[in-house]
Amino acid sequence: MSTFRVRPYTMTGGRTRSTTTLAIETIVTTNERAERDALTSTAEHRIISDLCRHPHSVAEVAARLRLPLGVVRVLLADMSDMALINVHAQAGTSGDGRPTMELMERVLTGLRRI
């Protein structure tokens, strides 16, 4: 993947947070609007749009782009606000974004096996 030659904070306008909070395991995909929308004209949005043609987690996007997780979260949240990506519901979470009891029990079982 391509590397960026600007400081990460310039990609987000100096912002470290956004109105939308994305967990690192949240899955995102590019939607059809991103391909035809002029709002994807920034280099970062184009690269993310190309990468997310296939489902990726927020953490995977950060790793593949070699960018700090916080920067990627802001960029993806901006793209979500502009309806350029689809943010998929996290498996094992309730409507308020907290883990379900079933997920917590599976994690506990997995930890006990270690």
CA angle 27–33–28, rounded 5-degree value? 5
Could you read off the pLDDT of 38-82 as tens digits, one per residue? 656 677 888 898 899 999 989 999 999 888 888 888 889 888 888
Which distant-in-sequence residues (6+ apart) come within 8 Å of 21 by Cβ? 73, 77
Better-predicted residue by pLDDT, 103 or 2: 103
* Token pair of 30 as six digits: 């590019």
The lowest-confidence range among 4-18, 55-69, 90-104 is 4-18
CA neighbours closer than 13 Å in the CB half-sphere of residue 47:
16
pTM score of the predicted model: 0.67
